[in-house]
Structure 1
């Protein structure tokens, strides 16, 4: 017997179920479908019509598209989740019966990007960043990951929290991040914090990102002391298109060493 039941299905999506079999020359007596061992569809060639369905919560059978090998579910909801089985029986003289079953899980994706909470308005080098990433409700609970400047963070900086439970079995996930800001966290004076929530690689991967730029109170002198910076000087404050621009760049270490650049616009 060849049974196809999708392992994961996004909520509200339609589903095809397939039950293939080899009768080995016998005639088909019946083909029956079960969810959690409760029958919801049967196909008997001797009946008119041959296909019949039975009301079952979460199972939405389309009789016109269902037959002796396939069952079509027009939609899915959280009640569709369960164990699905197919049973095939043959006519006399063999009266053989074979069956198989598989689990189908219904996924509910978060409606919003994960949120980052706990950010301060500004940070200094040496300050502590203590933030939390919170996913929107989903089923199953989302798996969260933190990134700093696009790179995974040190696991020792993570603070996992318990799941938050919501109605209909949905869950939210929270993952904290705590670290001290250093020069290595800055790229051209900015730092990005990203949080990715993944419910299923097949269906969902989305991230929320916060770019901290211009929020660091660290002044430029922290990086380049004023006494060691080169200085620029020019003969005019304004130039017109087509004029020659003369600029002098002086190094404090050698005031006599100057370079002149000519730029034509």
Structure 2
């Protein structure tokens, strides 16, 4: 009987311990941190970050498009197992249990990446969210703005077009006037156009956009200069902590003549009372002289 009580107590302790460990697994997190965009033939570091103690970590696996890229197993000799990857080389010197450096990345290296961590005691594993990496070709020159008239009236609509430089993927265009972003409802995107230019077998594309902006909406001084900017970026919005992968911009100025509203009535000249009195006296004097003259020459 005492033996049976000891057995029950031992099982109870194991069960309680298991409940605590399993409940703690809900607090485990894992995240793959890597750049969203990588310039063609450049490198990228993939880091599998987590909150598991290093002594408890048993295995780390990196994936690309669901296929294994690298596996680390604690206690094995050798601890690393590498798999084939198309479009990049793994830097063996910088390899760690939780990081992989991909070098000379080609367009085939673009894809969806993830990582997984595993514990041996208790048996548990968790996979990170998917992370997209795109290999890009940067713009080699700034976008081009075209405006019909560099001098306009404040009552006119500003008409302008912008075309980006060739790149991959096609850049995104954003308009600014006096350093303020223009409402997208006042712009007309014209999509992308494939060019005859290629970069290592990838066809580059350009983006076009038009601007139709009412200058009357601006608070302008007479003969004020309006600054127009076309921003060409990859991607369309800068990510937090990383910014744009590629950015170019072009700025031009337009002279705007402010049109004054027409007067509501004709201008009236106000004459002072003194001037009016003297004018009346002068008129009387002229009349008297005329009368005298007429009398003198009467036949």
Shorter-normalised TM range: 0.5 to 0.7
The structure with the largest helix share of the pair is 2
Calculate the aligned-residue CA RMSD, in Å.
3.9
Match of 1:232 in 2: none
Match of 2:208 in 1: 174
- Which of 165, 172, 192 is equivalent to 1:143? 172
> Is contact 1:5–1:17 with CA below 8 Å preserved after alignment?
yes
> In structure 2, do the counterparts of structure 1 residues 52 and 116 end up closer, same or farther at CA, with 3 Å as the change threshold?
same
- Mean CA deviation greater in 33-42 or 201-210: 201-210
> Is contact 1:62–1:72 with CA below 8 Å preserved after alignment?
yes
Unaligned 5+ segments in structure 2 are 1-28, 261-299
Q: How many residues align?
A: 215
- Which of 180, 187, 190 is equivalent to 1:158? 187
Match of 1:192 in 2: 227
User: Equivalents in 2 of 1:76, 1:82: separation in Å?
Assistant: 11
Offset at residue 143 of structure 1 (A): 3.2
User: Equivalents in 2 of 1:156, 1:27: separation in Å?
Assistant: 53
Match of 2:249 in 1: 207
Match of 1:104 in 2: 132
When the two structures are superposed, what TM-score results if normalisation uses the length of structure 1?
0.62
> In structure 2, do the counterparts of structure 1 residues 184 and 96 end up closer, same or farther at CA, with 3 Å as the change threshold?
closer
Offset at residue 53 of structure 1 (A): 1.9
> In structure 2, do the counterparts of structure 1 residues 57 and 24 end up closer, same or farther at CA, with 3 Å as the change threshold?
closer
Match of 2:11 in 1: none
Offset at residue 8 of structure 1 (A): 1.6
Offset at residue 56 of structure 1 (A): 0.8
> Is contact 1:159–1:175 with CA below 8 Å preserved after alignment?
yes
> In structure 2, do the counterparts of structure 1 residues 98 and 129 end up closer, same or farther at CA, with 3 Å as the change threshold?
closer
Of the two, which has the highest radius of gyration? 2
The structure with the largest strand share of the pair is 1
When the two structures are superposed, what TM-score results if normalisation uses the length of structure 2?
0.56
Match of 2:279 in 1: none
User: Equivalents in 2 of 1:99, 1:34: separation in Å?
Assistant: 10
> Is contact 1:40–1:59 with CA below 8 Å preserved after alignment?
no
> Is contact 2:143–2:250 with CA below 8 Å preserved after alignment?
yes
Offset at residue 151 of structure 1 (A): 4.1
Offset at residue 58 of structure 1 (A): 3.0
Partner of 2:228, secondary structure, is strand
> Is contact 1:5–1:84 with CA below 8 Å preserved after alignment?
no
Partner of 1:49, secondary structure, is coil
Match of 1:255 in 2: none
User: Equivalents in 1 of 2:117, 2:81: separation in Å?
Assistant: 15
User: Equivalents in 1 of 2:48, 2:251: separation in Å?
Assistant: 42
Unaligned 5+ segments in structure 1 are 224-265
User: Equivalents in 2 of 1:180, 1:25: separation in Å?
Assistant: 65
Residue 86 in structure 1 maps to residue 115 in structure 2: yes
> In structure 2, do the counterparts of structure 1 residues 186 and 145 end up closer, same or farther at CA, with 3 Å as the change threshold?
farther
Partner of 1:79, secondary structure, is helix
> Is contact 1:5–1:104 with CA below 8 Å preserved after alignment?
no
Give the 5 Å matches for 1:18-57. 18-20=48-50, 22=52, 28=58, 30-57=59-86
> Is contact 2:162–2:210 with CA below 8 Å preserved after alignment?
yes
